[in-house]
């Protein structure tokens, strides 16, 4: 959204895995990209269907019984 050609900014706070966040910040710094610009670019690419996100849920089921000896 923009007003008079200037993008309206709104804070976007969400919990992120600390390792991913650290590596993301390092990569952005290496490439001279602001964090928010990189995140906005990824969000826009997702909206424009240039990228897709595949969610995989894995369940592990095991017995609570102690093995017989």
- pTM beyond 0.75: no
Q: CA 22 to CA 41: how far, in whole Å?
A: 19
What DSSP string runs through 8-34?
A: PP--------HHHHHHHHHHHHHHT--
DSSP, collapsed to helix, strand or coil, labels residue 48 as: coil
Give the model confidence (pLDDT) of 7-48 as tens digits. 888 998 999 999 999 999 999 999 999 999 999 999 999 999
Out of 20-24, 44-48, 54-58, 62-66, least confident range:
62-66
């Amino acid at each position: 959204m923009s007003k008079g050609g200037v993008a309206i900014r709104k804070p976007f706070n969400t919990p992120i895995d600390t390792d991913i966040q650290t590596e993301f910040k390092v990569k952005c710094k290496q490439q001279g990209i602001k964090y928010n610009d990189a995140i906005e670019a990824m969000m826009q690419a997702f909206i424009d269907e240039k990228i897709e996100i595949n969610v995989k849920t894995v369940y592990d089921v095991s017995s609570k019984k102690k093995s017989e000896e």
